[in-house]
Chains A and B, each alone.
Chain A
Amino acid sequence: MKTKLLLIASLLLLATSLSACTGGAVASSWPGLTVDAEHDTAYLAYNQYVYAIDLTTGMQMWKFPEKGKGGQVFYAAPVLTSDGQLIVGSYNHTLFSLNPETGLANAWSFKAKHRIIASPLATEKVIYAPVADGKLFALDANFREIWSTPFSAKGAIWAQPAPDGECNCIFVASMDHRLYAVDTRNGSILWDKDLGGALVGTPTLGPDGKLYVGSFNSELFTLDAMTGNIIGQPFKTEGWVWAGPALSDGHLYFGDINGNFYVLNTQDGTSKTTKLEGAILSTPLVISDTVYVTTGAGHLYTMDKEGKTIKPVVTIKGKLQAPPIMYKDFILVTPVGSDAYLIALDANGTQVWAFPTPKAK
């Protein structure tokens, strides 16, 4: 009997160790945030819940679901559609449609065959849902498939597609190293280009028909959006480029996972590099003449358009891996590993309010 107990105890110890090592309770990504400024509401997707937060007070309005389910976790930023849905994808392969006022799930949902890691793209009539098995679905307002065959890349799609209203196409960045232009009418490939490294950031389309996208090959590419041809030489970075660049007044603003922040003049190719502390995993926010950059070391940098820090660095406990968002005069940040899921900062970087984690409440 004693031997039997010893054996069972040993197996349980191994089982526990393996379970602990699976990281089941550890977040697999960072929060996704969407702001509805018109209704003063933020929608935050993180771990097992989607929260609606009153932006005037920082208080929770609702959360979905009422009780979290293991395996059903949300990270991609929810998307508001023009017909009043809040769409959010989960790691348990499901795309949910929620009522943004109540948080209740609508009667329809969409079941994919793999995790949904990227936010869907919602246009006037179509919802484009990227899935981690490389498929991209075009759905109508009730989540019925529009294309007879979904678009299929050879690798996972972790980036929200980028729209181009002029060409009936959207641009899809895939981890199979390729950037695709997909025909929105039927999901066929208009062109694709191998960029030599995995792509996980949404490409940026400029007003001049140029497309900008960074890759894990430590390069930032400029392509002709109509043909997919690479224009000039790719810009070399020190580290992998994770997020898509921000474009403002002919300048690109982006970073790499080594913490290098780049300002690239698209006209003459000149650039400036500034070393920041922490990996840069999100698209910088450019408002007027100010650039806001978050890093994995928990820093929020406020810079001028030349890339020079113009205000003291704000440091949050935890990591800032998601992009900052401007709401009225506040900057909203979503730290990981902090006591709050969402923090509102004023122009001086002082905390105005914080939406606490369940543990911190």
Chain B
Amino acid sequence: MWNTVILNPMVNVLLWIYGLIGDFGIAIILFTILIRLLTQPLNAQQMRSMQVMQELQSSKEWLEAQKKYKDDKQKLQMAQAKLLQEKKINPFGSCLPLVIQFPVIIGLYQSLTSAMAVTPNQLLDLTKRLYPFINGSSLIPIKSHFLWMDLSQPERVTLFGIGIPTLAILVVLTQYLQGKLMTPTSSNPSDQSAQMSKMMNMYMPLFMGWIAYSLSSGLALYFLVTNIISIIQYAAMGKVNWRNILPKNLLPARTK
């Protein structure tokens, strides 16, 4: 089921793009853009959920509850839960689309690994996945070099004999930047949602950086491009929160 619905289509689309472009790195980038477009409804829902939560957290009732129960966490949580229920807001609404994207990430990793086929068994496995319209014999082997990278290997730039994982560093930076820009400013930094966002912004970049460091650079390239596209998408929608990263003297003055 997984192969039929997720993996095989991904492998074949990726190879089809590669067959048109002739460059596997560019094919990964275009494939990433395609995946982002297809998952745009999920992303949009995630953004809507975040916005709704942000509005609620700025509302009079929410702020009053925080003020009233500031010394009693349990009662505060109960009051907040009651408000969420009254407003019919799912507190995990912004997380669910993210969780659904996990299979996409896994499928994409498998499709990149499958398409690059760096071992005999992987190549044999790939032959069983190809759709009839893919001319595998002319595409294989995939030319896995892109810029300075071998997309089938973890990326390193050797400087003075030391391998610097530049792509992994870029993934960490863009992941961190994305988290900062997309996190709404919280009126109460100690509330649960703000705490969650803070932790996500701390752990997620490290986690993604570790993956980018350990696994093939093709996957790291996907993460980097995904992060950049996310920031661009959010900026285009006017949802980016520049206050979280720019120095205060560069921000436009708030009108009272």
- Chain A residues close to B by CB (< 8 Å): 3-4, 7-8, 10-11, 13-15, 17-18, 21-23, 26-30, 75, 91, 115, 117, 132, 155-156, 158, 175-176, 196-198, 200, 215-218, 240, 257, 279, 281
Contacts and interface: CB of A to CB of B under 8 A. Distances in A.
Interface of B: 99, 102, 105-106, 109-110, 113, 118-124, 127, 136-138, 140-141, 192, 195-196, 199-200, 203-204, 207, 211, 215
Given A3-B195, A3-B199, A198-B140, A21 B110 contact: yes
Nearest to A154: B143
Contacts of A29: 119-121
A240 B127 contact: yes
B121 A18 contact: no
A114 to B, nearest CB: 8
A197 B138 contact: yes
Given A3-B199, A216-B137, A218-B137, A18 B127 contact: no
Contacts of A240: 127, 136-137
Contacts of A11: 203-204, 207
B30 to A, nearest CB: 23
Contacts of B118: 115, 132
Given A22-B215, A257-B127, A14 B102 contact: yes
A240 B126 CA distance: 13
8 contacts: A11-B203, A14-B105, A17-B102, A18-B106, A18-B109, A27-B121, A240-B136, A257-B124
A7 B203 contact: yes
Contact of A17 (B106, B203, B215): B106
A179 to B, nearest CB: 15
A303 to B, nearest CB: 23
Chain B interface SS verdict (over half): helix
A234 to B, nearest CB: 13
A91 B120 CA distance: 12
Nearest to B99: A10
A117 B120 contact: yes
B141 A4 contact: no
A44 B97 CA distance: 49
Given A4-B199, A18-B109, A18-B211, A279 B102 contact: no
A155 B141 contact: yes
B137 A28 contact: no
10 closest cross-chain pairs (CB), A and B: A28-B119, A29-B120, A197-B137, A175-B141, A216-B137, A217-B137, A11-B207, A28-B121, A3-B196, A21-B110
A168 to B, nearest CB: 29
B113 to A, nearest CB: 7
Nearest to B120: A29
A132 B141 CA distance: 12
Given A3-B196, A7-B199, A17-B102, A216 B207 contact: no
A3 B99 CA distance: 15
Nearest to A1: B195
Contact of B200 (A7, A117, A197): A7
Contacts of A91: 119
A312 B119 CA distance: 33
A27 B125 CA distance: 12
Contacts of A14: 102, 105, 207
Nearest to A26: B121
B99, B102, B124, B207, most chain A CB atoms within 10 A: B124
A21 B127 contact: no
A7 B200 CA distance: 7
Contacts of A281: 124
A111 to B, nearest CB: 15
B240 to A, nearest CB: 23
A28 B207 contact: no
Contacts of A155: 141
A215 B136 CA distance: 12
Given A22-B215, A29-B121, A117-B119, 17 more contacts: A3-B195, A11-B203, A17-B102, A17-B106, A18-B211, A22-B109, A28-B121, A28-B122, A30-B120, A117-B120, A158-B120, A176-B141, A197-B138, A198-B137, A216-B140, A218-B137, A240-B137
